[in-house]
Chain A
Amino acid sequence: MDLLLSSFDILARWDVLIALVVGSVGGVIIGAIPGVGAAVAIAILLPATFSLDPIVGLTALLGIYGSSMYGGAIPAVLVNTPGTAVNALTTYDGYPMTQRGEGRRALSLAYSASFFGGVFAVVCLIFLSPVLAAIAPHFGSREIFLASLLGIILVVLAHRGQILIAGALACFGIWLNTIGLEPIQYSKRYTFGQSWLSGGVDLIVVVLGLFAISQAIVLLVDKNRAPRTGTLSGDLFQGFKELLRHKRVASVSASFGVLMGMIPGVGEFTAQFMSYTAARRGSKTPELFGNGAPEGLIASEASNNAVPAAAMIPLLALGIPGEALTAMMLSVFYVHNVVPGPQLFQNQMDFVIALYIALLVLNVMVVIFLLFSTNLLLKIIQIPTRFLGIIILTLSFVGVYSLRNSTIDCAIAAGFGVFGFILKRLNLPIVPIILGMVLGGIMEAKLRTSMMRVKTPFDMIDRPIAFILFLLILVVLGSHAWRMWKDRNSTENQ
């Protein structure tokens, strides 16, 4: 009880509440605008929160992280354009419903399913906390190294059809992270005699380049588009009643979201795919899936909205991000002197619970905001894409330049902007670079620490959790090799 009171005490400040409102409402708006997305917004706003208190900055960015997918459903349902990438599956059933004249019903279902997914995941997070608090201290250097290695392997293997290039980009991220002064022996690595490279390449500069500047260039180079939407009349509450009729689909989908969210490198897409498949299998009308099935819409939205809270589990308990947004959130924590990992659960449990409560409150705030302001958001969706590109490019400057007022940082970010633009043009993944940078740094530090305490490589896995993680790595690699072999055989037989 004391813990809970202490957590409420952390949150019960006017600046935290404002941050929560700004973050959650801002996240919905950003999510609703196709071509922006939470990654761009967090990258741009991260440096702007440096001067704020940790809990204020964190709740604002957490608000954007947790609420953008709510907004992303609006253009997905009404104009067949997902607001964020993870709302793509929502278009399958949401847009056909709109075409049938059921746009209001589809949107209402999307809101209620998103709300259910978000709250379900936070509740899971709260109930898992004691378990995490008990397990997390057993994660020493070697376990965190192995978990990071597993994370990076999963991130690469998750890019089916692009595994080789995803591997190359993850290694590029690992290499990027090593540029500059090496922390133990203080020797320079890959600086090519340039003093401006001695400090290394800042993760935030890379993130801003790869996500924000590249997206601005995409929007500026592409043809101008301005989605046209009508207005919605009537209340949007009916979806909550309808969701009760599909509670099994919602619960199963949210559970997939939680499970997949917890595994580094897996994330929303796999959760949605599994939920959608399960919902179709269990449906009495599977033929409707892809043509406007309410269960399909619920599966997509409940699962994708359960992921952000669940992805906080490895991030908070172990300090291991599972995807790009959690990697950015890790930077957010570091910037605000909060170091996620086993120590956080032991020493600052009230802070952790305050974050959970913030996540819960933001879900309530977002759904209230959406129920009353959807028509306003429909106007925002209509902003022309090139105009958005101008705004994102202007905002990118604040993000990069405010870090340390460095023109060189801006030039590096611009370079990564072009690199990211080319990757986006070629449909190649960006996320492995970011995770390579973050997890590469963690792996280097943890391997070095753990190798000081082991005599033979086998000592690395002589503790139960380390052994389980090692087995998981073998299982993941083995199952991938088996799948490749099966694919090759089936191709040859054809």
Chain B
Amino acid sequence: MYRLEKVDYKNILKIDSLHIRGREITFIEGESGSGKTTLLRLLNKMITPDRGSIFFKNTPISTINSVLLRRRAVMLSQEPVIFQGNIRENLLIGLKFSERAPVSEKDLSAMMTLLHLEKSLDDPVVKLSGGEKQRIALGRVLLMDPEVLLLDEPSSALDEDTEHLMIEALVSFTKDRGKTLVMVTHSKKIIEDFPTRIIQLKKNTAYDDKEVDRPC
């Protein structure tokens, strides 16, 4: 799905070669400051590398329109951002931003169940907890049903049980629909519970597929 070659970004991230396969789940781990978020932002074209090339399905992403790429490979940032309005509006805003038709009420309710949110779609967002906001931000991305999901610690504000449920739902969503999931995580437990391909980034060290890759 993605191939990175000799990518360098502002002394934060150096990648000699990296291959992210399609229809697979890839976890990214590494200490803080090792460039995990930067890697996701490069894949979502929110930033452009100083040197090197990134390919999306063998096309250099420098030649792909950023907005169209971001609609196919959607990114979720670590800090959930909530917009004014109620839960329904917040769940539908990704579709609105990417100029697509809203989903049905039935699909919205199904998403609330998947997110384990026992709230009304009409509830205002002001009183939501950090974990609830995080799940709504995740739900918003899932409703867009993109080819690639680039998720930056989507469960960091959740307790361990909810986190497990959420990642489980995410993993089966990805597998059932043949999606590509690239997820940054800090949680050793998630990595143990859900064996997938892992990319381990290290501070000030160039990442090379051949050396550090530990497929499970």
Q: Do A and B bind each other?
A: no
Binding site for A on B (CB under 8 A): none
Binding site for B on A (CB under 8 A): none
